Structure 1
Amino acid sequence: MIHHISISAQNPQHVASVLAEVVKGQAAPFPPHPGSYMVVALDEYGTGIEVYPSGSEILPGTALDSCHFVHNPHTSRFTATHAAISVPTSQAEIEEIGSREEWRVVRCNRDSIFDVMEFWVENSLMIEFLTPEMAHQYLAFTQQHDALKSFLTQSAEAVS
């Protein structure tokens, strides 16, 4: 179970408020890293998204020290990092929010198995939002362990 993720954004406060709207939760400042915000879905899983200023990096601490934040002014605005998050929001609501923000939003099918809403935060970071219907498709696939194992075996064979 993933309980929270962190992302970076050009405008962390605005991005946090938009994501809070999609997850039907709340956004607030994230004190450990000034200029950052956290989104809490207020669900039974403790789902959260921390939104750091672009260029933020987390480095390991030394000895018994905790990790620490630094700023890298040379980061790309794109990343392979993404998350799939189930939300209590409809496709129409997600599309309306994305349209209002002028962010790319598109319903996509993943290998004829399940659908997701690609939600491109600031048109540079993709979050796959799963409406309740899409979450049902995703869970139906991932909870059929024999079918999932067969899919993984076929995928491995295709790469070999």
Structure 2
Amino acid sequence: MTLLHMSINAHDPQRVSEFLARILGGEALPFPPFPDCWIAFAGSDDGTAIEVYPLTHQLVAGVDQVECRVGGERAEPTFAHIALATPMPADEVITRAGDEGWPARTCNRGPFQCVEIWIEDRLLIEVLDPKMRADYRAGMTVRNWRAMFGMNTQ
């Protein structure tokens, strides 16, 4: 198993993201899919990253895929989630999650697809099979991120 990215929350997401990026030898950039969020890319620029969200943001199981709920008290569900690599094909991952009684589905995240699993209906786990992982590695780079969201290049 390989950790691909993770998310955390903070009082000051930009500051925390910039610190983490420095520690990782990488770059911090805004995270446009959700308001007031940031992402710290590792210097290896291979998709390894830590997303940082305000304490008031929560991930919830939307109709088709994950959605962001903003405002209110910090409570479950949380913005924390992880992406994991697996040698197992996506359909087997979905079957195994179903065997546990957990919702699972294949979702499009832009530059890659993943199997979205809601452990105990509250914790998001993104699982990538070998094909998904190849797309992830090819698409999740600083250069591609900037292009996807129209950010100036440096």
Larger radius of gyration, structure 1 or 2? 1
Which structure ranks higher in relative contact order (CA pairs < 8 Å, sequence separation ≥ 6)? 2
Query: What TM-score do the two structures reach when normalised by structure 1?
Result: 0.45
Normalized per residue, which structure has more helix? Answer: 1
